[in-house]
Structure 1
Amino acid sequence: MSENQERKRTARERIQRERQLDKARERRRRTLIVASAVVGVLGLAAVVGLVAANSGKDTKDGSSEAGPLSAPSGVQGEEQLAIPVGASDAPSTLTVWEDFRCPACAQFENALRPTIHELVEAGKIKVEYHLATIIDGNMGGTGSLRAANAAACAQDAGKFAEYHDVLFMNQPPEPDDAFADNGRLIELAGKVDGLDTPAFRGCVNDGTHDSWVEKSSTAFQEGGFRGTPTVLLNGESVFPTKGEEQISVANFKKWVEEANKGKQPGTRQPSPAGSAPTGAPAS
C-alpha cells in the first residue's frame, strides 16, 4: 500500500471514529433528555422544566430582593404557600407545582383541566396550587415571576382558578418572555369577568406578591422536586406516572375513585378567595 493510500485510510478511520464518538455523545444527550421527560398526557410527550443550579430570584427590575413579603388572601398550608381551590373537606388533595412559562405544565393543564374541574365541583378533590419560577432561572427573563404575581393578585380578588386557566390557555412559546409584560397580564385579566379592576392592576404593576412568589419558588427548589409540573394525589406522585400506569383522564379518575373509596364528597365551601371555578374562562 502506497504512503498516499495509507494516509487516506488513516483519515477515513479517524473520521469514522469521530462520527462514532459524536453518535455516542448524542445518545447520551438524548438519554439525559428522556430522563427528564414527563410521560405524555393523553399520548403527548413533554419535557419537564428542570431546576437550574443557578436559578435566579430576579425581580421585575432586576434586583435580588422584592421587598416585604405579602401573601395573597386565603393561602394555606405550610408557610402559607398553597392556593386552595375546592371544598376544604374534600376527601382527597391534589397538590400541583407549576410555572406559568412551563410548556409541560400547559400540556398537563390543557389536557386534564375539564377532569380536574369536574372532580373539584363534585367535591371529590380539592387542589392546592404552588407557584414556581424555574423557567426564569433556566431561560432568563421574569415572565414566570410576573405571571405568578398576577395570579396571586387574582387570588386576592377570588378569581385565581379562572385566571390560572386563562394564563395556561394563552401561554407564549417558552423562549418568548411575553408574560414579563404587566400590560399583557392585565389584558388577559379581561377574559375573566370582574377581574380587571384598579385594585388588580395596582397589585400587578406594584409586584405586590413578588416576595411571596419567590418564597414559594425557593420552597420548590428545596423540596427535592425534579421539575414542573409536579403533581401529587394525597402526597403520592401521579405525574408522570403512578406505579406503572401513565397518566390519562381515565386513569386519573380511577386513582381518585380508589383514594376516595368509602368517603363522602366534600361540601364545605371555601372562602371566596379559594373558590372553585364556576365555568370555563374565555381562551
Structure 2
Amino acid sequence: MSQRNSDGKRSAREALQEQRAREASRAKVRRTVVVASGLVAVLAIAAVIGVVASNRHSDTAARAGTAAAAPTGATGTDSLVIPVGAPEAPSTLTIYEDFRCPACDAFEKQFTPTIHSLEDSGQIRTEYHLVTLIDGNLGGTGSLNAANAAACAQDAGKFRAYHDVLYANQPDEQDDKFGHTSTLLDLADQVPGLKTTTFTDCVHQGTHDSWVKQSNAAFGNSGFDATPTILLNGKSIYGQNSALTPDSLKQMVATANKGKQPAKVTATPS
C-alpha cells in the first residue's frame, strides 16, 4: 500500500471514529426546550387573522412538502431508496448518508471513483438512503434541505452528479450552510442542465421534505446508528476500525459476482 493510500485510509477511519463519538455524546446531552410565553396572545391573534401564506421564496418561507412525495424512480420499501446504476447488476451497495456528515464526506472522497467505476461497468447498483442525523444533533436544516435538493435532482435524472457536487462542497459540520436554499441552488450550476424552474421550485418548496423525514425515520428503525453505514449485498462492510479500501471493495465485489454476468449499462448513471 502506498503512503498516500495509507494516509487516506487513516483519514477516513479517523473521521468516522470522531463523527460517531460526537454523535453518541450529543445524543446523551440533547435537551428539550419548551417555549410557553405569549400563548394566549398568539391564539387570540391567530383566531382573527388566520394563517398568512407567504409567496416569497426564502429560507424562512413555509416549505410546501407535506405528503411524503417520493422522487422519480425511487424504489424499495415505501420508495425510500434512490438507485444509481443498472437495476440488473449482480451486487447491491447500500449507503446511508447525511450530507452534513464529515465522516460521510471522508468516505465519499476515498471511494467515489471506485463506486462510479463499479456502477458504470455493471458490477453494482448503489442504493442511497438519505439521513438527517446532524440536524438532530447540532440543529439547523442543512441535512434536510440538502437531501430534499438531492431528491429534486433525482427528479431531473441528475442525482449522482449533484450528490457528488454536494460532497465536494460540504461546509464545516458546525456551519449550516446547506440550510440556505441559495447555496444549494448555486451548487446546482455545477451540474449542466439541472437548474431549471422545476428544480428551483422543488428546492424552495421542500417538495420532498416529508419523504426525507420518512427516510430518516426508517434509518432510526433499521438497527444502524451512525453515518455512513455501508452494506454490500446486505452485509455491513464499513465502520469504526474499518480496514476497507477501494481495492478491497473491488475485490469484495469481484468475489460476490463470481460466475455472474455484469449488467448491461446503456448510459453513465447521472
Scaled by the length of structure 1, the TM-score of the pair is: 0.75
8 Å contact from structure 2 (residues 148, 206) kept in 1: yes
- Specify which of 231, 235, 253 is matched with residue 256 of structure 1: 253
3-state SS, counterpart of residue 149 of structure 2: helix
Gaps spanning 5+ residues in structure 1: where?
A: 1-39, 278-283
- Specify which of 246, 250, 253 is matched with residue 243 of structure 2: 246
Q: Does 1:194 align with 2:204?
A: no
Aligned residue number for residue 218 of structure 2: 219
- Specify which of 18, 35, 43 is matched with residue 10 of structure 2: 43
3-state SS, counterpart of residue 127 of structure 1: strand
Partners of 2:31 and 2:81 in 1: CA distance? 21
What is the aligned-residue identity percentage?
Answer: 50
8 Å contact from structure 1 (residues 86, 269) kept in 2: no
Structure 1 residues 49-106: Cα deviation after superposition (integer angstroms, max 9, x where no partner): 43737699xxx7699x951221100000111000000000000000000000000000
Partners of 2:153 and 2:260 in 1: CA distance? 32
Structure 1 residues 224-280: Cα deviation after superposition (integer angstroms, max 9, x where no partner): 112000000000001127xx971101111111111111110011659xxxx714xxx
Partners of 1:55 and 1:163 in 2: CA distance? 34
Partners of 2:139 and 2:84 in 1: CA distance? 30
2:154 counterpart letter in structure 1: Q
Counterparts in 2 of 1:159-178, with a 5 A limit? Answer: 159-178=158-177
Q: 4+ residue stretches of structure 1 with deviation over 2 A?
A: 47-56, 60-63
Partners of 1:119 and 1:91 in 2: CA distance? 11
Aligned residue number for residue 269 of structure 2: 276
8 Å contact from structure 2 (residues 65, 205) kept in 1: no
Partners of 1:149 and 1:55 in 2: CA distance? 26
Size of the aligned set, in residue pairs, is 229
1:255 counterpart letter in structure 2: M
1:151 counterpart letter in structure 2: A
Partners of 1:219 and 1:227 in 2: CA distance? 13
8 Å contact from structure 2 (residues 80, 129) kept in 1: yes
Counterparts in 2 of 1:101-112, with a 5 A limit? Answer: 101-112=100-111
Partners of 1:43 and 1:90 in 2: CA distance? 31
How far 1:48 moved relative to its partner?
A: 3.7
48 and 41 in structure 1: CA distance in 2 versus 1, 3 angstrom threshold: farther
Q: Does 1:120 align with 2:119?
A: yes
Gaps spanning 5+ residues in structure 2: where?
A: 1-6, 33-58
1:256 counterpart letter in structure 2: V
8 Å contact from structure 2 (residues 99, 147) kept in 1: yes
Scaled by the length of structure 2, the TM-score of the pair is: 0.79
Aligned residue number for residue 36 of structure 2: none
105 and 55 in structure 1: CA distance in 2 versus 1, 3 angstrom threshold: farther
Structure 1 residues 31-52: Cα deviation after superposition (integer angstroms, max 9, x where no partner): xxxxxxxxx9622111344373
237 and 183 in structure 1: CA distance in 2 versus 1, 3 angstrom threshold: same
